[in-house]
Chains A and B, each alone.
Chain A
Amino acid sequence: MPGDSGGSVGLSWRAAPFNGPALRYQVFFGEQERGPYTQLAEFPANSHYKSDADRPWWSWDRTKNVHFYQVKSTRTLNLVNGRPYFFKVALTDGTQSLEGPVRSAVPEPNLFNWNKANNLLLMIVFSTLVLISISQAKRRPNIFLRRIPGLDAVEEAIGRATEMGRPILYLTGSDDMSSLSTIAATVILGQVAKRTAALDTQLKVPHRDPIVMAVCQEIVKESYLEAGRPDAYREDSNFFITSDQFSYTAAVDGIMLRERPAANFFMGFYYAEALLLAETGAGTGAIQIAGTDADLQLPFFITTCDYTLIGEELYAASAYLSREPVLVGTLRGQDQGKAFLLISMVIGTILATIGAFTGTQAFVPVLQLFRDFK
């Protein structure tokens, strides 16, 4: 069976010329060629065509008039990889039955799932787009970037904290270091730390994950070094509370109420604690800037924070703050990716409409390129 991890066998056979709903196919299975054979399935002869299978054209022969049945391992039937098994198919009308020849098959695991080839293709396309844009940006660094209001406010928030002599609270989200949101949040932390170092404002970063804490310590230290203020760096600006969701939330809420930070940053990925944190912060009158790709929590940040970086803007933020050609180039690449998908969706919808209107199957191969096959 193509594209699986073994443990199953695909049977296909040419349809008999006299198919009809009254006729039924029976599939038999045996561990030895001589038998005994047990019946696995029985279905009407006008069903189970190979073209019925939900598989893409590039990895699947979709010709009509070929029947197909997949034998999978179950609790009673264990197909071992590399061992031959024997199958036969019979056609019956209830009284008479016509048996086909015995065929043997060996279940084998595959090395590549061709059903996912379009996924791989997209990955290659996007990677190339990003890498090309980066190298272009290195040559011509002056690319236009539209404003992201939340980012202008970062400077303002830090300035206000400095003026008021109060600390800045920065959260990196609830995910661990392997999450992209966390990585984006730590990159922005580096930029924020550079500003706090220059202005000598206290920075507080409570953590839920010890590894993220360790990484952030490195990043903040580096930022202070770059800003020429290694003396102002404090090891305890990054500290650990607990890995538990709501006790962490309670403790951070406590910090907000007692130490009254002038600005709260919520970057990274959040779960239900989002509103508990942001609403408490809103109550203390702090400037709040959020940035998250947790789409379910966005509504709560939007309603409680002064500025919110929505989804993708979180990833873009580091590019804006640093203006490094590499990062700006990445944004350009992302935009090209979006344009590509946008155009694909318009064309795809037109094709789907024509297809539905005229009843033609001609565009199915194109549309299948944008389907997720397992």
Chain B
Amino acid sequence: MTLFLRRTLPLLLTFLFGVAFAAQYYIPHPVSEGALTEISVWLRIILGFAMILGIASLCQVHYAKIRTRVAGWGYSLVVYLSMLITVAVGFWAGGQETGTGLGWVYTYTLLALQGTMFSLLGFFVASAAFRAFRARSKEATVLLVAAILMMFGRVPLGEYLVPAAGPLAGWLLNVLSLAARRGILIGISLGGIATSIKIIFGIERSYLGGRE
């Protein structure tokens, strides 16, 4: 019985859910559309509960740091405090964001931090380009030329200096690079389908861990 619960039941569920939701795509009936919406709510609820695992893990990692007083344990305290304060403010505001403390926290800390972290990409794009774009082989040269043409053609100054740069960049993007992207996508899709099939038929089961 436990063997059934431990191994057969999970595999059976995977099979049933896999087949059902593959079939769902071909069934236009409202019931089938409804099932898809319903299950996405289900996944959110499951994730909601699972988040407790995540919170526990986060707290554990930082608790261990504080307890053993490893270098920089004070920062772990920052994590704890900022998390608790945000939760407290959030519940105080009843989850509402307009004109509440939660809205303030969101606008002035989260948005600022997120925007800045995201904008670091602008700098990293430059340094990655500088390091990687070197004509060290024929392939790397092609990479380099394509990138430069693209950058040149995308800004007003480039287009002003060489009027053909804009259309050329567009052609590069819509023809040559589109072709490669299509090839990659078709390849990915076959790999994805094969993986899905293996999972549905229980051939690939490592995600279940354990072999009992």
Contacts and interface: CB of A to CB of B under 8 A. Distances in A.
Interface string A242-255: 11111101100000
A219 B207 contact: yes
A313 B181 CA distance: 15
B53 A240 contact: yes
A186 B204 CA distance: 12
B7 to A, nearest CB: 13
A246 B116 CA distance: 9
B129 interface: yes
B206 A246 contact: no
A246 B195 contact: no
A43 interface: no
B147 to A, nearest CB: 8
The DSSP consensus for interface residues of chain A is helix
Interface string A318-337: 00000000100010011001
Contacts of B53: 210-211, 213-214, 240
B22 A222 contact: no
B22 A300 contact: no
Contacts of A312: 184, 187-188, 190-191
A218 B113 CA distance: 34
A113 B128 CA distance: 48
A190 B54 contact: no
A369 to B, nearest CB: 16
B54 A210 contact: yes
B106 to A, nearest CB: 12
Interface stretch (A16-24, A50-58, A118-126): A118-126
B204 to A, nearest CB: 7
Interface in B181-212: 181, 184-188, 190-199, 201, 203-204, 206-211
B190 A338 contact: yes
Interface in A170-216: 176-178, 180, 183-184, 186-187, 190, 207, 209-211, 213-215
Contact of A247 (B113, B187, B203): B113
Contact of B195 (A112, A183, A303): A183
Given A112-B27, A210-B50, A219-B209, A130 B197 contact: yes
> Which secondary structure characterizes the binding site on chain B?
helix
B62 to A, nearest CB: 10
Contact of A315 (B29, B61, B191): B191
Interface string B129-169: 10111000000000100000000000000000000000000
Contacts of A258: 72
Contact of A246 (B30, B117, B192): B117
B208 A326 contact: no
Contacts of A242: 54, 58
Contacts of A311: 184-185, 187-188, 191
A190 B209 CA distance: 9
B90 to A, nearest CB: 14
Given A303-B129, A315-B191, A338-B186, A110 B203 contact: no
Contact of A240 (B26, B54, B121, B132): B54
A275 B125 contact: yes
Contacts of B184: 295, 298, 310-312
A241 interface: yes
A31 interface: no
A210 B60 CA distance: 14
Contacts of B61: 236, 239-240
Given A218-B209, A282-B131, A295-B188, A330 B198 contact: yes
B120 interface: yes
B8 interface: no
Contacts of A66: none
Given A127-B193, A278-B128, A303-B129, 7 more contacts: A123-B193, A240-B55, A250-B113, A276-B121, A303-B133, A311-B187, A315-B192
15 contacts: A110-B29, A111-B29, A116-B25, A119-B25, A126-B193, A131-B197, A177-B207, A211-B53, A219-B206, A222-B211, A240-B54, A246-B113, A258-B72, A295-B184, A312-B187
Closest 8 pairs between A and B when the two form their complex, measured CB to CB: A218-B209, A315-B191, A303-B132, A210-B54, A312-B187, A240-B57, A240-B54, A246-B117
Interface of A: 3-6, 81, 109-113, 116-117, 119-120, 123, 126-127, 130-131, 134, 176-178, 180, 183-184, 186-187, 190, 207, 209-211, 213-215, 217-219, 221-222, 236, 239-247, 249-250, 258, 272, 275-276, 278-280, 282, 293, 295, 298, 300, 302-304, 310-312, 314-316, 326, 330, 333-334, 337-338, 341
